[in-house]
Amino acid sequence: MNIRRIKHLAGRISLTIAMLAATSTLAETALSFPEGAADFLSWASRNYWYLFGDQNESRADLEAINREVREARTAFSEAQNDEMRRVALVRGHAGSMRLIRRLKDCPSLVRIDLTCPTPVMSTLRPIELPGDTGAILFEVVCGGEEVSYRSYVVDLAATTYTVWANRISKGTIYVLLGLEHIPFGRSKLDLELRRSDQPTVHLPLDFTRPASGRLKLTLISDDTGKPVPGMIHMKWRTDDMMRRPGSGIDFVGQMDNQGNATGARTAFLPGEQGRTYWCVPGESELSLAPGRWEVGVRRGVEHDLVFQELEIRSGETTTCTVRPKRWVDMRKRGWWSGDDHVHCQLLSDRDAHRLMTWVQAEDIHFANVVKMGDIYRTYFEQRGFGRDFRVVDGDHVLVPGQECPRTHDEIGHVLAMNITRMVRDTDRYFLYDEVFDDVHKQGGLTGYAHVGREEFHVHRDMTMNVPRGKVDFIEILQFNVLGTDLYYDFLNLGCKLTASAGSDVPWGGTIGEVRAYCYLGQKKFSADAWLEAFRRGRTFTTSGPMLDLQVDNALPGDEIRLKKNRKLRVRARAWGDSARMGKIKLEIVRHGEIVQAVESMSSENPNAELDFTVDAGNGCWIAARAKAADGTSAHTTPVYVVRDGLRFWKYDGLEGLFAKRLASLAEIEKIVVDARRLSAGGNPGDVRYLNQLAQQGDGLIQRVVSSRAMYEELKRLAESERQRRAPMRDGDGLDYRGLNADP
């Protein structure tokens, strides 16, 4: 590939223009594919359409030309014969001609004629740029019929800047030069045009930038009427590029260079929620380029999104106060939000203040801030664990926890809450049950991360430790993906598991984009109260809709014990924000199967309710789940219905459930055997992981053997129940009390 370079050094921009002979695979045509047109059009249509006149008309036309040229380029590269290539070239040339006509009519086009004895620039007046970013369009005439395009972005704050591009043959070159960090007032640069076989040309590049305006932005709590942190999206309408607010908090220093280590947070959520936001304090004063600005404010799922347009004038101050309204206040219903999976360094009061600001901005009340480990090292360091190291600000609390052990290709990732010290022993790293036991001795809670996405072979360790009651919770909702296959498998085996959700920032988009709500009822919020409700399974998870579920008078996580079969009354409700969620579908699942469902009648009133009775049968679990039209979802922890002397498992599905678990145990045996073989053979890959797995293999194999014995015991238990189970199929006996889908 032939290359041209641009440099910005000590007030100079250098353009190298090399003359090469034109080449073509189609000798019979004078057409050539417009070099650089696709990249040029991409920048022009996305960020710099304002250079071409009326913004709406120009942008639409540029986008149409952009599509035409890109489709032609794709067709040319995929063409299987000369005729197909010729057709693609004709189409690309037509798009280029359309672009040239737009460029010729562009009032801001700067012409540089290099064919004159003394090269000149068409304008000697300073070029007016709109703000601290902008662009200049050049038409560089070298002589000849060929046309090509170049596009560059130069950061004027950088000490050096280099851009590589293909060299060109002689002709006319259209250059789109984007500039960033443009200083206020009038500036001059030396534009250096280098040609391979002709003298270098120096031309003065003279431009001006208007003074900025000021924005005094205040975010008000809908609860207190006082300033409160929030998540801010700011876009300059001149180029439609998002800007970091001057007061935006950057968390780079607290994220250990892991994941998306920046303060610019793009949530895994639909629509305007999924734009890029920055965390800001309640009151900010920002310096902004003059022009129209789009300002968006998000304060978590319980609040309305607020978007508005502002006009910023050069040298003037604009005042804006935004008060996002609550469409729901779950605290008044006894439910308090939490995020079980937040990665962030907490080593100082400054660290704590910044993270607390983010938690408050997203309206999350409990954050499990996890120190992370692998077999090599730890990340996201904490000052300590336990009550003395909690960070409390009103009804928001940061509680240090851990994500460790973590094995990616072996048996999954472990989470722990409410620990007094980190549990980590790399010599026993693959023996997760020892971590669970130690955490429980500390009074903590244990669970698995990423279960909804079935990542990192987590099913293997779940097979050994969930039926033993060593696991309290699992993440079934993350990155706006609700995954229930593994969850339902273990519930159907008669295992109690609390449904949880975690953002996994900085890999996730933002704190609380998915969340677990805990029911405290009339209790005052505290970390201990939230953790106790979580331990009891009084939870539902959500990325949008809200859920209520009662079976008789039992809430999620509760157990109903019965001596014989009787009717159970199931009442459930799912509802959401009419401004963004659309219709909501509510489903009741019993042993993983839908027993009743309803959808809200309209998107203006996204409210769905069910009220019916179902037989308790021989015992079961019953949960509610919801899906909104915008792609967000929710799921409760089940209510457990237990008949005396019987397990609440899905009895008629046990054969398949046991087969899955025994297959998982066989997988564990295989990874131990493979590790031992590769370790003994001097495997050139990840030696430490393999060596440790090989060395700890005996312990894992012992646990596999005891797990097989456990499943054999469960099979015997199932057989012993056969005569005691009533002769009816689970799920029979529905009796509708009536439902109100859209009251």
Is residue 47 domain-shared with residue 152, that is, in the same domain? yes
- Residue 409, in any domain of the structure: no
How many C-beta atoms surround the C-beta of residue 224 within 10 A?
Answer: 9
Which tokens in the block code for residue 607? 């409210």
580-589 pLDDT, tens digit each:
999 999 999 9
**What pLDDT is attached to residue 16?**
47
- What's the number of domains the chain is made of? 4
Contact 135, 48 (CB under 8 A): yes
496-548 pLDDT, tens digit each:
999 999 999 999 999 999 999 999 999 999 999 999 999 999 999 999 999 99
Chain mean position to CA 452: 15
Residues spanned by the domain of 255: 213-322
Is residue 548 domain-shared with residue 594, that is, in the same domain? yes
Is residue 37 domain-shared with residue 172, that is, in the same domain? yes
- β-pair partners for 376: none
- Residue 699, in any domain of the structure: yes
Alpha-carbon Rg for the chain in angstroms: 32
Average the pLDDT over 80-100 and give the result: 89
- Residue 327, in any domain of the structure: no
Burial of residue 519 (number of CB atoms within 10 Å: 0-12, 13-18, 19+): buried
Is residue 129 domain-shared with residue 14, that is, in the same domain? yes
pLDDT of 199 > 80? The answer is: no
- Residue 304, in any domain of the structure: yes
Which tokens in the block code for residue 373? 């480990």
Is residue 145 domain-shared with residue 259, that is, in the same domain? no
Of the chain, the percentage scoring pLDDT greater than 70 comes to: 90
DSSP for 610-627?
EEEEEE-TT-EEEEEEEE
pLDDT of 739 > 50? The answer is: no
Determine the Cα–Cα distance for residues 459 and 662; give it in Å rounded to an integer. Answer: 11
Residue type, 342: V
Grade residue 152 by pLDDT with cuts at 50, 70 and 90: confident
Listed residues 322, 357, 383: the one ending a domain: 322
DSSP for 503-528?
--BTTSSSTTSSEEEEE-TTSPP-HH
**What pLDDT is attached to residue 7?**
41
Is residue 177 domain-shared with residue 255, that is, in the same domain? no
Is residue 554 domain-shared with residue 660, that is, in the same domain? no
Tokens 């909690």 sit on residue: 390
Is residue 562 domain-shared with residue 707, that is, in the same domain? no
- β-pair partners for 6: 15, 163
Listed residues 163, 183, 209: the one ending a domain: 209
Quick one: angle between helices 654-680 and 697-721, nearest 10?
170
Determine the Cα–Cα distance for residues 299 and 325; give it in Å rounded to an integer. Answer: 9
Grade residue 6 by pLDDT with cuts at 50, 70 and 90: very low
If one compares 199 and 135, the residue with the highest pLDDT of the two is 135
383-394 pLDDT, tens digit each:
999 999 999 999
How many C-beta atoms surround the C-beta of residue 29 within 10 A?
Answer: 14
- Residue 470, in any domain of the structure: no
Residue type, 558: D
- Residue 268, in any domain of the structure: yes
Contact 214, 286 (CB under 8 A): yes
Quick one: angle between helices 458-465 and 432-441, nearest 10?
60
Is residue 568 domain-shared with residue 696, that is, in the same domain? no
At residue 184, the 3 state secondary structure works out as coil
- Residue 233, in any domain of the structure: yes
Main-chain dihedrals φ then ψ at residue 705, nearest 5 degrees? -60, -45
Main-chain dihedrals φ then ψ at residue 737, nearest 5 degrees? -85, -10
Strands 559-562 and 162-165: unpaired
Average the pLDDT over 358-383 and give the result: 97
How many C-beta atoms surround the C-beta of residue 114 within 10 A?
Answer: 18
Q: If you ran DSSP here, which 8-state letter would residue 168 be given?
A: B
Listed residues 167, 184, 209: the one ending a domain: 209
Q: Domain holding 588: CATH number?
A: 2.60.40.3880
Lowest-confidence range among 172-176, 552-556, 587-591? 172-176
- Residue 616, in any domain of the structure: yes
Those residues whose C-beta lies under 8 Å from the C-beta of residue 259, and which sit 6 or more positions away, are: 343, 504, 505, 506, 507, 508
Is residue 607 domain-shared with residue 739, that is, in the same domain? yes
Is residue 613 domain-shared with residue 637, that is, in the same domain? yes
Is residue 673 domain-shared with residue 614, that is, in the same domain? no
Grade residue 197 by pLDDT with cuts at 50, 70 and 90: low
**What pLDDT is attached to residue 686?**
60
How many C-beta atoms surround the C-beta of residue 366 within 10 A?
Answer: 28
727: left (phi over 0), alpha (psi -120 to 50) or beta: beta
